[in-house]
Chains A and B, each alone.
Chain A
Amino acid sequence: MENNRECFLMKGNEAIAHAAVRCGCDGYFGYPITPQSEVLETLSQLKPWETTGMVVLQAESEVAAINMLYGGGASGKRVMTSSSSPGVALMQEGISYMAAVEIPAVIVNVQRGGPGLGTIQPGQADYLQATVGGGNGDYNTIVLAPASVQDMADYVDIAFQLAFKYRNPTFILSDGVIGQMMEQVYLPPFKPRRTEEEIGTECPWAANGYHLTQRKPNIFSSLEMDPKTMEQRNTRLQQKYALMSKNEQRATTFLCDDAEYLYVAFGSVSRCAEEAVVVLRNRGHKVGLLRPISLWPFPKDCLNKILPTVKEILVCEMNAGQMINDVKLSINCQRPVYHYGRTGGVVPTPDELIEAMIALIKQ
């Protein structure tokens, strides 16, 4: 397939922008913040409003941007935003509201080191915020974690498909390394934006003008004064999340068939872990890597499948230990699970991951 597609050299952030236009996105609303500003910058250069008709708007704040997604998504449009950690923190209220009334949208978080304004260097410390629902109430969002510029290009369309399949906000949880790095990338083919008729047929729930069809108005409100009715709504949402959890686990494995020692890492850290696996295999150690692609739902089926040969697990993250909880829960703590993390914008090198694993093996 890649033979007849042109190869580009671009940053992960630029790939996100190109992919958005190509997969028929209707609107992007965002506010600049390092290290993801190239998304809005690239979209402004591409001027998709002149070609596909896609709207690109620099909102006055992240709070405004997420509420523009609420409106756009409610009308059945494919809408997205992107930001980095402190900006995504500002969006949490809107994301909770969208989850409550089942509005599909794609939110890209190119993470930096926190907490607070933190640094502008790469981080992965928004794992828990993204996977357990950063806003109020019981809700979940599917979270996809790209590990290359190609993933950045490919996951936009997947995220939109999942968002509409489940009528739910969907995250692409990237980091400063993947956003800022340039690699060769094959961009997805152009797909037209959906017409009003198509939206009408595919999204009967959308608030897109009931006078056209004489149907009852579609109303989106997360406020419900009767607790029993609200509980019914919650029960239905939980049933949907259970279905998502069962069907949408995604992961890749690297040399796991006979692995006795297992790295679990996502995003840019999984790239360092791959290198570490190659080096340690050359030294005769049976080491493998599980790279979760979906952080929620966590790929527990995949982890349990490779578990029989595994003696010990090392979770590597650019945070103080967040995914490690999902790893332990997924296997019911049947194996010792250790953590190696760097925080605040420090990116671990492959050597650090190798040393941490060697220390484990020697124990």
Chain B
Amino acid sequence: MKEEIIISGFGGQGVLSMGKLIAYAGIADNKNVTWLPAYGAEQRGGTANVTVIVSDQKIYSPILNTCTTAILLNQPSLERFLPYIKPGGTLIYDTFGIQIPPKRDDIHIYELNAMDTAAEMRNIKVFNMLILGGLLRVRPFVKLENIKEALFKTLPKRHHDLIPINLEALKKGMEIVKEINN
């Protein structure tokens, strides 16, 4: 098993932390992981992306030619990374950030309206957890319980009161993700 994931969106959307949770969950499952961020002058409103590899074999290159799964959260990210997805691979996108839907008939495409759902939940910060929930539903290569454990590890103790709403968002994301037939 080797999952190669690219997550890309606006800075501040939780792209890097989403990748971190996946990496932590992979380690909890005794898998090998690499997490490589784009570390340019990224900031809120700019673009941010991260490459995460989870594998039960040794990971040689942390740098990818192509990926098996892409989570793309805005139009520039879609344009840049859509060609990276291997045939048969998976694309998950948010309908708020991407208004011109992707066109490829050799990959599985899923969408979710995470931005509006986060607004309904009255906590815009859970946006990335909704997306992550969607990923766990369609590509369950890491376990939900390990993501929960990762939340405890990555969130500072003073924010642990936010864990329930994050878990709720994960669950909600699993519900609202839907496959798009080309």
Which A residues fall within an 8 A CB radius of B? 7, 9, 34-35, 120-121, 176-177, 180-184, 268, 271-272, 274-275, 278, 347-351
Contact = CB atoms under 8 A, between A and B. Distances in A.
Given A181-B34, A271-B60, A351 B39 contact: no
Contacts of B181: none
B39 A184 contact: no
Contacts of A35: 39
Given A9-B23, A121-B40, A182 B61 contact: no
Given A177-B63, A271-B63, A182 B35 contact: yes
A177 B62 contact: yes
Q: Of residues A177, A180, A182, which shows the largest number of chain B Cβ atoms within 10 Å of its Cβ?
A: A182
A347 B38 CA distance: 12
B48 to A, nearest CB: 13
A351 B84 CA distance: 13
Contacts of B172: none
Contacts, number: 64
Given A7-B27, A9-B23, A9-B27, A278 B62 contact: no
A182 B40 contact: no
Contacts of B41: 120
Given A182-B23, A271-B60, A348-B63, 14 more contacts: A9-B20, A177-B62, A177-B63, A180-B39, A181-B35, A182-B33, A183-B33, A183-B34, A184-B32, A184-B33, A271-B63, A272-B60, A275-B61, A349-B63
A347 B64 CA distance: 10
B65 interface: yes
Contacts of B36: 177, 180-182
A349 B27 contact: no
B37 interface: yes
B60 A274 contact: yes
5 pairs of A and B residues whose beta carbons are closest in the complex: A275-B61, A275-B60, A182-B35, A274-B60, A351-B65
B37 A278 contact: no
B24 interface: yes
A350 B35 CA distance: 17
Contact of A182 (B34, B63, B64): B34
Nearest to A274: B60
A52 B34 CA distance: 31
Interface in B39-55: 39-41
A271 B39 contact: no
Given A7-B27, A9-B24, A183 B63 contact: no
Given A120-B39, A177-B36, A184 B61 contact: no
Given A181-B34, A181-B35, A183-B35, A268 B63 contact: yes
A348 B65 CA distance: 10
Contacts of A182: 20, 23, 33-36
Contacts of A278: 60
Contacts of A275: 60-61
B63 A184 contact: no
Contact of B33 (A9, A34, A268, A348): A9
Nearest to A350: B61
A330 B36 CA distance: 34
Nearest to B65: A351
Nearest to B64: A349
Contacts of B62: 177, 181, 183, 268, 271
A268 B63 CA distance: 9
A347 B35 contact: no
B27 to A, nearest CB: 5
Nearest to A354: B65
Interface in B45-84: 59-65
Contacts of A184: 27, 32-33
Contacts of B23: 9, 182
Given A121-B40, A182-B23, A184-B27, A274 B35 contact: no
A120 B40 contact: yes
A177 to B, nearest CB: 7
Contacts of B40: 120-121
Contacts of B63: 177, 268, 271-272, 347-350
